[in-house]
């Protein structure tokens, strides 16, 4: 499937914004609306490098993109626990894995004015919270509030 | 440069206080990819840096 003209215009804007704030991110299969992903590395303040992947849904921007951590794999938490084992967890802000990777909770109610850039920025903050969890053993909701 | 513990301490305070601490600001600096905790009166780490506190105040989906 291909993107509609309106979607192509929107994705062009998304590309420009993401390039400004996360220049290392790449668009994978950008012409295939059934398989478009955005992927890139982020380095936390603790110095660890993670790869985030955002799945751009074919009806974008009308539904919420999924975001997963693809590297390191498996993604480990406190004392080496595989975070996939949490599945959907309110306290860890995770959802059931996608393609075997830990899926990060970000926005509850998706609105078309939200952007891929904001999703990735949330991923960046989530990863910094993961560093806190790995240091202290506290769940992620110790560092990240729940949406009201 | 802000270390990771300063960032998580800021995030923890945001959860505890129900809003971003009034004496601190969390920013994302795209030139370094780092999160920066600074006083509101201090200069931003770069002209392109963005305030990230709204995101943390809004919170994350519960799962």
pLDDT at A53 over 80: yes
Structure tokens, A55: 């799945």
Residue B6: is its pLDDT beyond 80? yes
In this predicted structure, what is the pLDDT of residue A83?
A: 97
Handedness of CA A17, A18, A19, A21 (dihedral sign): positive
- Per-residue pLDDT at B45: 96
- Chain B interface residues (partner A, CB cutoff 8 A): 1-8, 11-12, 14-15, 18, 28, 30, 33-35, 48, 50, 52, 55-63
Contact call for A121 and B28, based on CB within 8 A: yes
Cβ neighbours of residue A140 under 8 Å, at least 6 residues apart? A91, A92, A93, A94, A126, A129, A130, A132, A133
Of A43, A108, A121, the CB nearest to B61: A108
CA distance B50 to chain A (A): 9
* Chain B residue nearest residue A110, CA to CA: B61
HSE-up (13 A, CA, CB side) for residue A58:
6
Q: Flag whether residue A89 sits within 8 Å of chain B, measured between CB atoms.
A: yes
**How much is the mean pLDDT over chain A?**
97
pLDDT at A84: 96
Condensed to tens digits (0 to 9), the pLDDT of residues A88-147 reads 999 999 999 999 999 999 998 999 999 999 999 999 999 999 999 999 999 999 999 999
CB A44 within 8 A of CB B52: no
ipTM of the complex: 0.96
- Which pLDDT belongs to residue A86? 96
Give the model's pLDDT for residue B62.
75
Residues in chain B: 63
Give residue-wise pLDDT tens across range B14-63. 999 999 999 999 999 999 999 999 999 999 999 999 999 999 999 998 77
Q: Please tell me the predicted confidence (pLDDT) of residue A2.
A: 94
Mean pLDDT of all residues in A15-34: 97
The confidence band for A148, taking pLDDT boundaries of 50, 70 and 90, is confident
Please give, rounded to a whole number of angstroms, the shortest distance from the CA of B60 to a CA of chain A: 5
Give me the residues paired with residue A28 across strands. Answer: A37
Residue B1 has pLDDT above 80, yes or no: no
**Best CA proximity match to A91, nearest among B31, B11, B60, B27:** B60
pLDDT of residue B7: 97
Mean of the pLDDT values across residues A82-90?
Answer: 96
State the best of A126, A145, A146, A148 to mutate against chain B, taking most chain B CBs within 10 Å.
Answer: A145
């Amino acid at each position: 499937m291909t993107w509609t003209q309106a979607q192509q215009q929107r994705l062009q804007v998304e590309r420009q914004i993401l390039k400004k704030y996360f220049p290392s991110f790449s668009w994978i299969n950008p012409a295939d609306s059934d398989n478009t992903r955005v992927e890139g590395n982020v380095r936390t303040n603790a110095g660890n490098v993670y790869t985030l992947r955002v799945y751009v849904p074919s009806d974008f921007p009308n539904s919420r993109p999924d975001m997963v951590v693809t590297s390191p794999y498996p993604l480990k938490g406190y004392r080496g626990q595989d975070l996939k084992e949490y599945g959907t967890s309110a306290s860890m802000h995770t959802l059931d894995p996608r393609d075997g990777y830990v899926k990060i909770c970000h926005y509850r109610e998706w609105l078309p004015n939200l952007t891929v850039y904001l999703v990735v920025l949330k991923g960046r903050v989530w990863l910094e919270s993961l560093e806190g969890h790995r240091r202290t053993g506290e769940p992620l909701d110790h560092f990240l509030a729940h949406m009201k | 440069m802000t270390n990771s513990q300063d960032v998580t301490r800021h995030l923890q305070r945001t959860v505890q206080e129900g809003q971003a601490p009034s004496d601190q600001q969390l920013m994302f600096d795209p030139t370094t990819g780092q999160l920066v905790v600074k006083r509101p009166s201090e200069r931003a780490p770069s002209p392109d840096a963005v305030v990230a506190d709204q995101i943390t105040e809004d919170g994350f989906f519960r799962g």
